[in-house]
């Protein structure tokens, strides 16, 4: 391999670093997307198979019949997540327009939305009228809602960091981090939507 | 020491954390959670499945170990500093890179890709060492018919542990040491795209190892490496160690996949177009890109396995609506691409060496790239050939037979590239050159027997037999490990600054290859005779083949010990290596020994491909 050399300062331009970071996050999300799609596969596979007619077990002497839950609460969680996404994008537009106040406000509202969605998701899990032992539907229900809960907890962590860094004025000259957090928000909302969609077909 | 110490008189937190604090915090967290779980977790109701409370305690303790270990090594500092808005300073980043830390940097959360590469090399050797010892136990036990001296339950666990540990070892054996140490220099970069993620991917493997060791003391892994459910749901507590091990390892693989791919896509030197990018880079990227979507599926299969055991869910429990076939599908959706995750970088490493030792250009670079791409594309469409006999979707057997047999076409393209490069080349007979011939021989046997196994009627007879065991050893060990050892010998001078002892490496090569072929051809014979795999005792009719296999296995062991001795002695007191001992043309050979912290003082600009050796007469 023949080559020339050129002087290159070790310091890289923020756009170079930013676009690299964005690609890295997208690739990590590829793994998370594969994970989420596998969960949907599990849900529809077990529902389709209905092995031993135990997708939704019928009543026995000891246990009542398992009936599918309304997916409405999952859609509520998705709606709150979508609201958080919109708030974050409002902040993102702010930082692109060099409006720090809009960035902070958007980040704060997004953080609150993430917290509310997390609490609501937790209530949905805690109030489910069945146990882990209650057949394949119940197992899948917990799997989907727990995955969403994990996503939401991560979102709270990220949204808090994003808001705190906005508050400290770190994003005054560089909005790459806010852009990348936006990618996470989009995926988190889509994954919540996929979960709600699946649970609508019990 | 670094400037961190000079700023204040007391050590900063990141200076205090190392492998010892990691083990201490991990162990402490595990013990605390174990005691608390024992005290506060309620007893199971009568309707709860077997093992549930004990499984909860075990899994919680293992999760606590994991969190404690990663905290103790310093993996969480970066994310928490980001949240606080206190990004790492240049001095702190240099500290993380291991600047002026000497040998201590190998025991810390060091981000320099060269340190991570060496860490991977050492852990790969340790993994192969442990896996090899287990293999010797298996072969010793099978040396005579009618059962040996190992208790059947312990034997099953040895087989399962040997399987999974060797699979993990082969997955990381090329992309770990050489993908980390060599690849960034080869593309003209100063480091990986995400140095802290790079360190994370390595330390996750260390964190994962402990649950696997732990498993051996609480019932072992008696299910074989595939851990099929519902068998795994009913296995002893040690199964939880397997589950944790896979989950943590899968995270490591995903992180490494994103990191390596980003590095290659975004950080290649100026002028290094895709046509000028060395073929080894294609192999590494193909491997990790294939693993990126495949391992989350494996991760999910184990999460559900853990939930079935600890929470009583019924993903795989048919009595409550679950399905064993679900596990088999999820497992093999990962399991077959994983074969190529192992093979592609090893073959690509040999394709990288072939032009160097024949002094001619790589024969048809484009065919090599198309072959790698073709394997990647087809490898995600073949998983159900592992399930012909399971009864799942018999109508799909024919399409899966077709896709499996089709994969021999792109694989054949890689053969063509290697043979074409060797053809009429001026061969420089080094161990890497011999390894190319060994790979062609071994992989041909592994590949052709694979075609038999992809054939539904033949598989009906051969499935679950020693024939299968011999087949996949021919591919993963005969081809994969041969390529990895050649890569070690080839890049050893750059990684250590020393030449690997030539005489010892020749002896090791021949002993290993002869032993290997003796061992596994013997195994083909007993497989064809009908000996099932994973059995602790067998009938007299199989004794001759098993004895031959055991003799071959011990020959491999001697070869491997000689290689280990060569590596250690050469590393410690070998002949000092010149900057470019093989007169190769890729960028890693343009930097000095030892490679400086940021590799290049000025970044290179590439103006031609890496295989400009002219044409042979």
Percent of chain A past pLDDT 70, that is, above it, reads 95
Cβ distance B326 to A28 less than 8 Å, yes or no, reads no
- Per the prediction, chain B carries an average pLDDT of 94
Question: CA distances (Å), B126 to each of B130, B303, B390, in order?
Answer: 6, 27, 36
Closest CA of chain B from A82, distance in Å: 23
Cβ distance A34 to B265 less than 8 Å, yes or no, reads no
Task: Enumerate the domain spans of chain B.
Answer: 16-42+68-88, 113-590
- Residue B615 clears pLDDT 80, i.e. is over it: no
Closest CA of chain B from A75, distance in Å: 24
**B323 contacts in chain A (CB < 8 Å):** 45-46, 49, 51
Percent of chain B past pLDDT 90, that is, above it, reads 90
**A27 contacts in chain B (CB < 8 Å):** 257-258, 261-262, 292
Residue A96 resides in a domain: yes
pLDDT band with cut points at 50, 70 and 90 for residue A123: very high
Cβ distance A34 to B294 less than 8 Å, yes or no, reads yes
Instruction: Express each pLDDT in B44-72 by its tens digit.
Output: 766 666 568 999 999 999 999 999 999 99
E strands, B199-265, in order: none
- Residue B6 clears pLDDT 60, i.e. is over it: no
Q: B493 and B577 in contact (C-beta within 8 Å)?
A: yes
- Tell me what pLDDT residue B8 has: 55
Tokens of B374: 């073709």
Look at residues B244, B198, B205 and name the one whose alpha carbon lies nearest to residue B221.
Answer: B244
Residue A139 resides in a domain: yes
- Residue A141 clears pLDDT 90, i.e. is over it: yes
Q: How far apart are the first and last CA of chain A?
A: 60
Cβ contacts of B276 within 8 Å, gap of 6 or more: A1, B606, B608, B609, B610
Of A19, A21, A54, the CB nearest to B321: A54
Cβ contacts of B97 within 8 Å, gap of 6 or more: B110, B111, B112, B191, B195, B597
Residue A77 resides in a domain: yes
**A160 contacts in chain B (CB < 8 Å):** 83
Cβ distance B296 to A1 less than 8 Å, yes or no, reads no
- Tell me what pLDDT residue B205 has: 98
Look at residues B176, B211, B25, B206 and name the one whose alpha carbon lies nearest to residue B109.
Answer: B206
**B359-376 mean pLDDT:** 96
**B266 contacts in chain A (CB < 8 Å):** 16, 19-20, 23
Of A19, A32, A132, the CB nearest to B312: A132
DSSP tag of B17:
-
CATH code: domain B113-590 is 1.20.210.10
- Tell me what pLDDT residue B617 has: 41
Q: pTM of this prediction?
A: 0.95
Q: Which of A139, A163, A174 to mutate to test the interface with B (most CBs of B within 10 A)?
A: A139
| Cα separation, B120 vs B579, whole angstroms | 23
Cβ distance A27 to B261 less than 8 Å, yes or no, reads yes
Tokens of A132: 């882990």
Number of domains in chain A: 1
**A35 contacts in chain B (CB < 8 Å):** 296-297, 299-300
pLDDT band with cut points at 50, 70 and 90 for residue B9: low
Look at residues B441, B447, B324 and name the one whose alpha carbon lies nearest to residue B390.
Answer: B324
Cβ distance B258 to A28 less than 8 Å, yes or no, reads yes
Look at residues B209, B249, B217 and name the one whose alpha carbon lies nearest to residue B236.
Answer: B217
For residues B332-369, one letter each, b for 16 or more C-beta atoms within 10 angstroms of the residue's C-beta and e for the rest, the string is bbbbbbbbbbbbbbbbbbbbbbbbbbbebbbbebebbb
DSSP, collapsed to helix, strand or coil, labels residue B78 as helix
- Tell me what pLDDT residue A64 has: 86
- Tell me what pLDDT residue A9 has: 46
Task: Write down the residue that tokens 């860094």 correspond to.
Answer: A165
Where do the H-state alpha helices sit in B407-501?
408-422, 431-454, 456-462, 466-473, 482-496
E strands, B244-364, in order: none
Residue A60 resides in a domain: no
- Tell me what pLDDT residue B180 has: 97
**B152-179 mean pLDDT:** 96
Nearest CA in chain A to B611: A1
- Tell me what pLDDT residue A10 has: 59
- Identify the weakest region by mean pLDDT among A2-16, A144-158, B38-52: A2-16
- Tell me what pLDDT residue B1 has: 41
Residue A200 has φ and ψ, to the nearest 5°, of -75, -15
Of B299, B312, B323, the CB nearest to A46: B323
Interface A–B counts its CB contacts (< 8 A) at 176
User: What pairs with residue B461 in β-bridges?
Assistant: none
Task: Write down the residue that tokens 């493997």 correspond to.
Answer: B205
**B75-92 mean pLDDT:** 93
- Residue B616 clears pLDDT 60, i.e. is over it: no
**B85 contacts in chain A (CB < 8 Å):** 161, 164-165, 167-168, 170
- Residue A5 clears pLDDT 60, i.e. is over it: no
**B116-144 mean pLDDT:** 96
**B585 contacts in chain A (CB < 8 Å):** 1-2
Nearest CA in chain A to B191: A10
Of A8, A55, A170, the CB nearest to B85: A170
Other residues' Cβ atoms within 10 Å of the Cβ of residue A174: 14
CATH number at residue A96: 1.20.120.80
For residues B438-462, one letter each, b for 16 or more C-beta atoms within 10 angstroms of the residue's C-beta and e for the rest, the string is bbbbbbebbbebbeebbbbeebeeb
Cβ distance A1 to B261 less than 8 Å, yes or no, reads no
Instruction: Express each pLDDT in A8-59 by its tens digit.
Output: 445 788 889 999 999 999 999 999 999 999 999 999 999 999 999 999 999 8
- Tell me what pLDDT residue B3 has: 44
Instruction: Residue A81: give the domain boundaries.
Output: 20-45+71-199
pLDDT band with cut points at 50, 70 and 90 for residue A139: very high
**B257-269 mean pLDDT:** 97
| Cα separation, B613 vs B591, whole angstroms | 20
């Amino acid at each position: 391999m023949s080559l020339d050399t050129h002087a290159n300062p070790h310091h890289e331009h923020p756009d170079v670093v930013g676009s690299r970071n964005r690609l890295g996050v997208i690739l990590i999300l590829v793994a998370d997307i594969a994970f989420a799609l596998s969960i949907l596969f599990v849900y529809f596979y077990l529902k389709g198979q209905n092995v031993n007619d135990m997708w939704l077990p019928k009543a026995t002497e000891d246990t009542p019949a398992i009936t599918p839950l309304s997916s409405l609460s999952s859609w509520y969680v998705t709606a709150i997540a979508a609201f958080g996404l919109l708030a974050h994008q409002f902040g993102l537009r702010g930082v692109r327009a060099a409006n720090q106040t809009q960035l902070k406000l958007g980040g704060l509202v997004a953080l609150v939305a993430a917290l509310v969605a997390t609490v609501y998701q937790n209530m949905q899990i805690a109030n489910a009228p069945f146990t882990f032992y209650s057949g394949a539907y119940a197992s899948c229900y917990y799997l989907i809602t727990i995955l969403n809960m994990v996503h939401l907890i991560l979102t709270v962590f990220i949204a808090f960091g994003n808001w705190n860094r906005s508050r400290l004025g770190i994003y005054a000259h560089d909005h790459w981090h806010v852009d990348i957090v936006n990618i996470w928000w989009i995926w988190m909302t889509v994954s919540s939507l996929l979960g709600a969609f699946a649970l609508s077909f019990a | 020491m670094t400037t961190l110490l000079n700023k204040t008189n007391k050590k900063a937190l990141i200076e205090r954390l190392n492998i010892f604090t990691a083990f201490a915090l991990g162990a402490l967290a595990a013990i605390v959670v174990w005691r608390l779980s024992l005290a506060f977790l309620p007893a199971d109701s009568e309707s709860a499945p077997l093992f549930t409370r004990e499984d909860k305690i075990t899994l919680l303790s293992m999760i606590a170990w994991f969190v404690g270990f990663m905290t103790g090594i310093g993996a969480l500092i970066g994310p928490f500093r980001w949240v606080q808005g206190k990004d790492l300073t240049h001095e702190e980043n240099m500290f993380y890179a291991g600047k002026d830390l000497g040998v201590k940097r190998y025991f810390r959360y060091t981000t320099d890709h060269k340190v991570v590469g060496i860490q991977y090399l050492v852990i790969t050797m340790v993994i192969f060492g442990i896996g090899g010892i287990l293999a010797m136990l298996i072969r010793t036990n099978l040396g005579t018919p009618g059962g040996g001296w190992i208790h059947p339950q312990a034997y099953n666990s040895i087989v399962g542990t040997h399987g999974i540990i060797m699979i993990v070892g082969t997955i990381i054996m090329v992309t770990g040491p050489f993908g980390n140490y060599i690849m960034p220099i080869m593309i003209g970069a100063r480091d990986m795209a995400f140095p802290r993620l790079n360190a994370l991917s390595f330390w996750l493997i260390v964190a994962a190892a402990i649950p696997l060791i732990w498993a051996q003391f609480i019932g072992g892994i008696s299910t074989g490496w595939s851990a099929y459910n519902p068998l795994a749901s009913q296995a002893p507590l040690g199964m939880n160690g397997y589950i944790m091990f896979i989950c943590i390892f899968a995270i490591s693989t995903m992180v490494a996949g994103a990191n390596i791919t980003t590095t290659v896509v975004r950080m290649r030197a100026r002028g290094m177009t895709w046509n000028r990018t060395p073929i080894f880079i294609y192999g590494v990227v193909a491997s990790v890109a294939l693993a990126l979507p495949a391992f989350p599926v494996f991760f999910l299969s184990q999460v559900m396995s853990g939930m079935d055991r600890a929470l009583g869910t019924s993903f795989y429990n048919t009595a409550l609506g679950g399905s064993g076939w679900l596990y088999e599908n999820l497992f093999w959706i990962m399991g077959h691409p994983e074969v190529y995750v192992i093979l592609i970088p090893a073959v690509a490493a040999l394709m990288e060496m072939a032009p160097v030792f024949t002094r001619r250009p790589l024969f048809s670079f484009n065919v090599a790239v198309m072959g790698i791409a073709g394997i990647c594309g087809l490898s995600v469409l073949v998983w159900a050939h592992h399930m012909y006999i399971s009864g799942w979707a018999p109508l799909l057997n024919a399409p899966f037979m077709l896709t499996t047999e089709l994969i021999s076409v792109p694989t054949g393209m890689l053969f063509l590239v290697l043979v074409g490069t060797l053809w009429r080349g001026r061969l420089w007979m080094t161990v890497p050159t011999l390894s190319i011939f060994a790979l062609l021989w071994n992989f041909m046997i592994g590949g052709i027997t694979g075609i038999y196994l992809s054939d539904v009627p033949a598989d009906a007879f051969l499935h679950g037999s020693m024939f299968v065991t011999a087949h996949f050893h021919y591919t993963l060990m005969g081809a994969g490990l041969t390529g990895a050892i050649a890569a070690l010998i080839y890049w050893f001078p750059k990684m250590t600054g020393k030449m690997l002892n030539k005489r010892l490496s020749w002896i090791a090569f021949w002993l290993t290859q002869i032993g290997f072929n003796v061992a596994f051809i013997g195994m083909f014979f007993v497989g064809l005779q009908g000996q099932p795999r994973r059995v602790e005792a067998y009938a007299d009719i199989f004794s001759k083949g098993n004895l031959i296999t055991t003799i071959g296995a011990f020959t491999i062991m001697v070869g491997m010990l000689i290689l280990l001795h060569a590596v250690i002695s050469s590393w410690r007191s070998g002949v000092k290596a010149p900057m470019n001992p093989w007169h190769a043309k890729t960028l890693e050979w343009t930097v000095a020994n030892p490679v400086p912290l940021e590799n290049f003082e000025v970044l290179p600009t590439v103006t031609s491909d890496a295989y400009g050796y002219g044409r042979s007469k």
